[in-house]
Amino acid sequence: MLDLLTSHFNAVFTSLRLRGKISKGDIETSCEQIRQALLESDVALEVVESFVAQIAQRSIDALALIQPGSNQAKAVFEVVNSSLVEILGGSARRVRFSKNPPTVIMLAGLQGAGKTTLAGKLAKFFADQGNTPLLVASDLQRPNAVTQLQILGQSIGVAVFAPEAGNGVGDPVKVAQAGVEFAKAKQYNMVIVDTAGRLGIDVELMKQAGDIRDALSPDEILFVVDAMIGQDALRTSQAFLDGVGFDGVVLTKLDGDARGGAALSIASLTKRPIMFVSTGEKLGDFDIFHPDRMASRILGMGDVATLAEAAKAAFDGDTSAKLEAKFASGQDFTLEDFLDQLQAMSKMGSISKILGMLPGSGAMKKAIDSLDEGEIIATKSIVQSMTPIERRDPKVLNGSRRSRIALGAGRAVSDVNNLIDRFSAAQKMIKQVRNGATPAGIPGMAGMGMPAIAPKSAAMRPKKKSKSGNPAKRAQEQSQ
Amino acid sequence: MALFSKLIAKLKRENSFAPADWAQLEKELLASDLGPTLTTNFLSAAKKVKSDNAEAALLEILSNNLALTSREPIVVPGTTTIMVVGVNGTGKTTSVAKLAALYKGSGKSVVLAAGDTFRAAAVEQLRTWADRIGVEVVCGKENGDPASVAFDGAKAAQASGADFLIIDTAGRLHNKNDLMAELAKVKRVVEKLSPINEVLLVIDATTGQNGLQQAKIFAESVEVSGVILAKLDGSAKGGIALAIESELGIAIKWVGTGESEGDIAPFDPNAYIKGLIS
Ligand SMILES: Nc1nc2c(ncn2[C@@H]2O[C@H](COP(=O)(O)OP(=O)(O)O)[C@@H](O)[C@H]2O)c(=O)[nH]1
Ligand SMILES: [Mg+2]
């Protein structure tokens, strides 16, 4: 996401860094580039203008306070970064739990924004934290939205209140109300109400959403919006604000490559925090929104924190504990770890998603695209042909050892050499990340070139063969 | 756009549109999701217009971006096979239903293939539509992969001599290589039996600049032959479709204007262009 914006910012700051002393003229030029980049990222024009005016003024103020020759580019960078964080919501807010359970969360948004899937994700998220959510199927419009929610609920073991089959039949206000009553009676501590998609300009349906709100007085109304939305974000979020009102925003489909400028527009217009992000089709692909991470990502510093979390979740306990211990003790990352990692990576949900979070992922796009499954198999067979000593200390790998390994793996010696070179690059990168630095300086990461160590198409979904044709079963498989 | 009329009036009497008016015009064009490039191009061309028929001249500047390829829906003798593709939630399944209703209504026989074997209840969603409209739908068996469902659909269409086979597919983000490969495989497998004549990409009218990237990558994977611009009944103008037409030469063939099966219409370039600036 935000690739282009990132590359624009990279260009801006690379040229600022080269200059040492920054003039007002430089700031104006940079602001013009930032303006262009934000527009290409779908940020609404009025938001762009006020943002750019703000950073121009703040940069001038900031530069007045620092010594010429000291790191001026860094100061400007800080201004842009902090202004972005400010607009994106300052600090992330958590869901407010009601003093008198159940806590009622109502979802609202356009058709196709991803509300039903999100309802399942929220339920899983809160259930995993020990809550007892009840899903309420109040989307009685879209064919089989109710069935979809039932399947999702079943797959995560969360009850679904669905007295009406939907498909155009039933009253969503009554269902929502009955759902909350049911939750009270059965002592669920949380209710998540899925609602039908509606257009901002659809007066009748907006009124219906308002009626659901009035009937429930939800603790949180979440506006669910597709990260790919363009300039209409402004009109639509205003319409939902006027029509139902909302307390927080959820950005969906962030695993795509949309630049997501709408997030800036909505946060800045509505002053409501972006609370969660939805990042994939599996019910676990969900996260709390981190404005600072998003800003870093916009600025090309990558999202190392999210990467670390995602990787941790993907590695099994053993592997990750081992790696973590190594990481902490400052030991070197060895070929053995590399092998573990390759194996863990094949288990990971979405390689491209993970890599996309790395610093300078724009520059790595090419490298990512060149990865393929054959390569991971070849790599594994090479590492497996090494002795434990060789895996731990590749420095012992002289010519004869290399040809023995090549023979054992059924590969050319050049393949072995190639792997060792790439491994050394990876090792170096990991050291840099450990040291907390974004390699190659902030924020331009060009030249960091991710070594080709991961499969191009590692299972982003369960393997076809293991996928059940039975929707209920399949959903269960997916949520695992 | 009142502003547009103002522009026309000004253009007729020696161009004296105030800078603030140009800024406002830029804002409104951007707000239609035309994107900064098309907007800048339009503005610089518009600034040069001096014509008695300024309105036509301005519309023409925008119309010049339209694709030159045919917008006629493809129909072949025998079974016409249509595959509907796009990112998640754009309106693919609904569009499949709309096309089925349209063709059924004109007396054609239609078979649907429920190729979204991934999203929970997607098959049931299409089945509900098929029942409503009264057309046959081929659904996957347990463990069925989308390519084989589509293939079974093609067999069924062939067996019954259907006029149309419409294949629904799972939503997928274009940056997921394996899912794009899966889509290409669906096409390949069906084409072992009979060619896919039309691949329609569904673009949500609210989509911003990312729509161009979607179209580019889907077109690379499965040779998109036309666009369905869905959800044009909302407040979004769907300006990104013009960028798709101009940059990729892919024609918009249909527009979606609501949630019912009748809410589909052939794309009308003039109405669309006027809509962008009104
Ligand atoms: N307002 C409006 N909604 C639409 C249109 N086309 C589809 N939708 C709605 O968008 C949502 C997603 O549609 P669906 O066909 O399930 O999308 P898919 O995931 O791409 O198959 C549903 O709620 C549809 O009713 C349209 O032209 N206008
Ligand atoms: Mg669908």
- State mean pLDDT over B25-51: 88
The answer to whether residue A197 is domain-embedded is yes
Say if ligand 1 is within 6 A of residue B98 CB. Answer: no
Say if ligand 1 is within 6 A of residue A143 CB. Answer: no
Asked if A45 reaches chain B (Cβ–Cβ under 8 Å), the answer is yes
**Statement to judge: residues A124 and A264 lie in one domain:** yes
**Statement to judge: residues A323 and A394 lie in one domain:** yes
Residue by residue, DSSP assigns A105-167 as EEEEESTTSSHHHHHHHHHHHHHHTT--EEEEEE--SSTTHHHHHHHHHHHHT-EEE--S-BT
**Statement to judge: residues A76 and A124 lie in one domain:** no
Contact by Cβ (8 Å): A225, A109: yes
The answer to whether residue A454 is domain-embedded is no
A58 residue type, one letter: R
pLDDT at B59: 87
**Statement to judge: residues A48 and A175 lie in one domain:** no
pLDDT digits (tens, 9 = 90+) for B180-215: 999 999 999 999 999 999 999 999 999 999 999 999
The answer to whether residue A472 is domain-embedded is no
Q: Which residue has the tokens 């339209």?
A: B66
**Statement to judge: residues A169 and A240 lie in one domain:** yes
pLDDT digits (tens, 9 = 90+) for A117-138: 999 999 999 999 999 999 999 9
**Statement to judge: residues A136 and A200 lie in one domain:** yes
What total number of domains does chain A contain?
3
Say if ligand 1 is within 6 A of residue B92 CB. Answer: yes
The H or E element containing residue B130 is helix B122-133
Residue A66 distance to chain B (closest CA, Å): 35
**Statement to judge: residues A288 and A350 lie in one domain:** no
Neighbours of ion ligand 2 (CB under 5 A): B 92-93, 116, 122
Q: Is the pLDDT of residue A371 over 80?
A: no
What is the edge-to-edge ordering of all strands in the sheet holding B252-256?
Answer: B136-138, B110-115, B164-169, B80-85, B198-204, B226-230, B252-256, B264-266
**Statement to judge: residues A78 and A111 lie in one domain:** no
| Residue with the larger pLDDT of the pair B266 and A432 | B266
- How far from chain centre, in Å, is Cα A246? 22
Domain boundary among A87, A112, A140: A87
Distance from the CA of B95 to the center of ligand 2, in angstroms?
Answer: 9
Q: Is the pLDDT of residue A324 over 80?
A: no
A243 residue type, one letter: G
**Statement to judge: residues A414 and A279 lie in one domain:** no
Interior angle at CA A315, CA A312 and CA A321, nearest 5: 70
Rounded-to-integer distance, Cα A200 and Cα A241, Å? 10
* Partner-chain residue, chosen from A42, A256, A467, that has the shortest CB–CB distance to B175: A256
Residue range of the domain that includes A67: 3-87
CA distances from B114 to A351, A440, A471, B83, B84 (A): 28, 49, 13, 11, 11
Q: Is the pLDDT of residue B255 over 50?
A: yes
Q: Is the pLDDT of residue A466 over 80?
A: no
At A323, the pLDDT band (50, 70, 90 cuts) reads: low
Residues of B in contact with A114 (CB under 8 A): 88-89
Q: How large is the ipTM?
A: 0.92
- State mean pLDDT over A290-299: 69
Q: Is the pLDDT of residue A349 over 50?
A: no
Tell me the torsion sign for CA atoms A404, A410, A414, A419: negative
Rounded-to-integer distance, Cα B229 and Cα B102, Å? 16
The answer to whether residue A309 is domain-embedded is no
Say if ligand 1 is within 6 A of residue B263 CB. Answer: yes
CATH of residue A367: 1.10.260.30
**Statement to judge: residues A197 and A260 lie in one domain:** yes
CATH of residue A73: 1.20.120.140
Q: Is the pLDDT of residue A437 over 50?
A: no
pLDDT digits (tens, 9 = 90+) for A62-105: 888 877 656 676 777 778 878 888 888 765 678 999 999 999 99
Atom of ligand 1 lying closest to residue B264 CA: 27
The answer to whether residue A417 is domain-embedded is yes
The answer to whether residue A457 is domain-embedded is no
Q: Best residue in B41, B210, B242, B244 to probe A by mutation, most A CBs within 10 Å? A: B210
- The model carries a pTM of 0.77
**Statement to judge: residues A52 and A149 lie in one domain:** no
- How far from chain centre, in Å, is Cα A321? 24
CATH of residue A291: 3.40.50.300
Average pLDDT, chain A: 77
- State mean pLDDT over A218-225: 97
The answer to whether residue A124 is domain-embedded is yes
**Statement to judge: residues A233 and A184 lie in one domain:** yes
The answer to whether residue A182 is domain-embedded is yes
